[in-house]
Amino acid sequence: MTNINSITASTATERIQAVLDGKEISHPLVSLWKHFPLEDRNQEAFVTRTEVFQEDLDLDFIKLSYNGLYGVEDWGTVIEWPTNPQDVGVVKDYPIKTIKDWNNLESLPLDNGALKRELEYTKDIVAKYKGKVPIIATIFSPLTIAWKLCGVDLLKHLEANKDDLHRGLSIITNTTCNFIQELITIGVDGFFFASQLADFEKTTWENYERFGKRYDLILLEEIKKHTWFNILHIHGLKPMFDELKDYPVQAINWHDRTSNVSLKDARSLTDKILIGGIDEHNVLPNATEEELKEHLKDALSQVGDNRFIFGPGCVIPLSIPDDKLQLVKSIISNL
């Protein structure tokens, strides 16, 4: 991003707003995110770890990396929690075992349990960074939460096409909407809306349109009224990118380096901000500084404009040390 009439923005919030407004910027933007499995169920420890991560890397937005199972903890999911920093929580028993079990779900309160924990953590991060760095809360699509409540049997429930699953998804959507509204009140700038089922390797578009899109849009329509920077994350190696590209968000993130939709492909399909360019599994772990530089320059060349933010295709592996991420940030700042 050289030889252009660029603006100089002093805060990350100003830099993101400049890209949204179609202005040129002096250097590429970047955000990185990873889980903190030994800290993310303790509010004070999680806040401290998030602050250290941000202060060390000076990222252009903070994706609040809540515990990956926060959305299903309080619905009776049996989880084995990690005892070392290289592991995350693992579901050992799903509460939804038959399609009729969807009728047993009840909306969750926000004044206790995992949802309260994440709200309290968010308040602390907003208090420190509001107005300086965009704060993006992680929300899972209703169908993704259903996947975490049921496991692979959900695919059978999709094919069965019964009202039982719709009832369960309605309860999940209601709970998630209440959570979103509280996060908006706290002051987040936007949401990282993650869909793990919008993947042709998992299901068909017919199934996703019936059981996914319908509920996604209920939440996204609420989100867009009150926030200014929202990201759709499409998880999987055969993402439903073309089908979801018109969702009401400002940016899209997906596995651009390993899926069948490249950055170049995506730019031909949408003018939304694209977030990606970093292969967190095959390149980041072992690449030299020069190899990383070429990898990142290739991403810029694919997009061809500044409506782009460097980021991983999904969460960065726990094995990647923070000093490697600092190297990535340094290279990007000088491209």
pLDDT digits (tens, 9 = 90+) for 200-248: 999 999 999 999 999 999 999 999 999 999 999 999 999 999 999 999 9
How many whole angstroms separate alpha carbon 194 and alpha carbon 152? 18
Beta-strand pair 90-93/78-80: antiparallel
How many whole angstroms separate alpha carbon 335 and alpha carbon 331? 6
Over the stretch 186-202, which tens digit does the pLDDT of each residue have? 999 999 999 999 999 99
Average pLDDT, the chain: 95
Buried b (16+ CB within 10 A) or exposed e, 116-131: bbbbebbbbbbeebee
pLDDT greater than 70 at residue 8: no
How many whole angstroms separate alpha carbon 213 and alpha carbon 220? 10
How many whole angstroms separate alpha carbon 162 and alpha carbon 2? 55
pLDDT value at residue 4:
36
pLDDT value at residue 37:
95
With bands split at pLDDT 50, 70 and 90, how would you rate the model's confidence at 102? very high
Is residue 186 within 8 Å of 119, Cβ to Cβ? yes
Q: Which helix H or strand E contains 272, and what residues bound it?
A: none
- Work out the average pLDDT over 289-305: 96
Residue owning tokens 């999987």: 236
Over the stretch 136-169, which tens digit does the pLDDT of each residue have? 999 999 999 999 999 999 999 999 999 999 999 9
Residue owning tokens 């726990």: 318
How far, CA to CA in Å, does 33 sit from each of 182, 299, 314, 315?
A: 23, 18, 8, 6
How many whole angstroms separate alpha carbon 185 and alpha carbon 190? 12
Q: Residue 137 class from Cβ within 10 Å (0-12 exposed, 13-18 middle, 19+ buried)?
A: buried
How many other β-carbons are positioned within 10 Å of the β-carbon of residue 92? 9
For the chain, the 3-state helix, strand and coil shares in percent, each to the nearest 5, are 45, 15, 40
Structural domains in the chain plus CATH codes:
29-333 (3.20.20.210)
pLDDT value at residue 26:
86
pLDDT greater than 80 at residue 1: no
pLDDT value at residue 24:
87
Is residue 77 within 8 Å of 310, Cβ to Cβ? no
| Neighbouring residues of 34: CB distance < 8 A, sequence distance ≥ 6 | 53, 65, 315, 316, 317, 318, 320
Name the DSSP class of 19: H
